[in-house]
Amino acid sequence: QQQVKQSPQSLIVQKGGISIINCAYENTAFDYFPWYQQFPGKGPALLIAIRPDVSEKKEGRFTISFNKSAKQFSLHIMDSQPGDSATYFCAASMNFGNEKLTFGTGTRLTIIP
Amino acid sequence: EPEVTQTPSHQVTQMGQEVILRCVPISNHLYFYWYRQILGQKVEFLVSFYNNEISEKSEIFDDQFSVERPDGSNFTLKIRSTKLEDSAMYFCASSLDRAGSETQYFGPGTRLLVL
């Protein structure tokens, strides 16, 4: 019940296209859903996060869509750029991010010219 | 911009040896965490620490592991007798407080290799 399932495992998108990564969770006590971006050899860096009281949050080219009834959330990267090539992890937490993070399995995103 | 720092960046040790991984969390943060990431796998929670005591630990965090905040700035993870399967990237993270909306900020990690 603590798992967060993430798909796809890897994704190749053409430059300028839309990258979409999906996550699903079981535990309805989760109330904070961040996305982290990780480059090789680096720590996860917070990209964008959402709480379940809104269905969408947009920051620049990054948008989280949240479906509370389906217990699913997704990351959309608009106008994908080669610099976006990284591994993306969704995560979930309770108490607005101040409890342990439960991570998804990660998606390796490659943006090709 | 404030950041979490970790030392060393790489550590190679022999099986059975003790290692101490060090972290300096963001200065006004009150919650501290250790996670690990085995190569190619997801990031896994190890332990959380608040008010000088462990608030939660995972099943991975057995008696071989301990955490300490020896002074006002450092947060350490000790592995008493390392095993081959402890080889991983270890990340420290910190967050502001339960009432805040800040999420956890991660350090760059320490890559531990146990031979």
In Å, how far is A92's CA from the nearest CA of chain B? 11
Asked whether the beta carbons of residue B45 and residue A34 sit closer than 8 angstroms, the reply is: no
Q: What pLDDT digit, counting tens, does each position of A47-72 carry?
A: 999 998 899 999 999 999 999 999 99
Q: Please answer whether residues B90 and B65 qualify as being in contact, where contact means their C-beta atoms are separated by less than 8 angstroms.
A: no
| Whole-number pLDDT of residue A97 | 64
List the single residue in A with minimal CA-CA distance to B6.
A43
Question: Contact at 8 Å (CB) between B3 and B24?
Answer: no
Beta strands in chain A (DSSP E): 4-7, 10-14, 19-25, 33-38, 45-50, 56-59, 62-67, 72-77, 86-92, 102-103, 107-112
Residues of chain A with pLDDT under 70: 1, 96-98
Torsion of CA B5, B9, B15, B20, to 10 degrees: -30
Residue B93 has pLDDT above 60, yes or no: yes
**Using a CB-CB distance cutoff of 8 angstroms, which residues of chain B are in contact with residue A98?**
31, 95-98, 100, 104
B91 φ/ψ angles, rounded to the nearest 5 degrees: -110, 135
Query: Given pLDDT bands bounded at 50, 70 and 90, which one contains residue B101?
Result: low
Q: Mapping DSSP to helix (H, G, I), strand (E, B) and coil, where does residue A84 land?
A: helix
Given this model, what pLDDT does residue A65 score? 96
Q: Tell me, what's the pLDDT at B102? A: 60
